[in-house]
């Protein structure tokens, strides 16, 4: 099996898993979008490896794989940043919900007495 097949299978697998997770309602569009784009790009690169060589040479990379690693690193940075932001927002919201419940409970108990 050559590298083209290996990368095509890997990219297709990521694409399949993403779609399947969305289909089963485990993954929301918001988070699926970036993985769909990445896996589609990976499929394209696996089918047309020339594109990778051309683009990386144009951008001044001596070795195309270095370009690939740089892009992969940036994407992962972007995704983890997005997730960190969302977690912060969720923490704020769950804190607020806990406060709301506490206030409602107090009111319920007061009204019951």
| Interface residue list for other proteins (CB under 8 A) | 19, 22-25, 28-30, 32-33, 36, 93, 96-97, 100
The minimum distance between CB 107 and other proteins, in angstroms, equals 13
The minimum distance between CB 24 and other proteins, in angstroms, equals 6
Contact 46, 8 (CB under 8 A): yes
Nearer to other proteins, 36 or 55 (CB): 36
CA atoms within 13 A on the CB side of 62: 0
C-alpha 33/C-alpha 54 separation (Å) is: 26
Residue where the block lists tokens 């699926």: 32
Nearer to other proteins, 22 or 75 (CB): 22
Nearer to other proteins, 41 or 68 (CB): 41
């Amino acid at each position: 099996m050559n590298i083209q097949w290996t990368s095509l299978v890997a990219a297709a697998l990521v694409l399949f898993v993403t779609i399947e997770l969305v289909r089963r309602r485990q993954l929301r569009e918001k988070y699926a979008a970036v993985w769909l784009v990445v896996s589609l790009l990976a499929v394209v690169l696996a089918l047309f490896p020339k594109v990778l060589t051309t683009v990386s040479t144009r951008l001044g990379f001596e070795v195309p794989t270095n370009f690939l690693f740089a892009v992969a690193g940036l994407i992962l940075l972007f995704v983890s940043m997005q997730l960190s932001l969302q977690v912060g927002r969720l923490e704020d919201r769950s804190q607020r919900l806990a406060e709301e419940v506490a206030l409602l409970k107090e009111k319920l108990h007061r009204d019951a007495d």
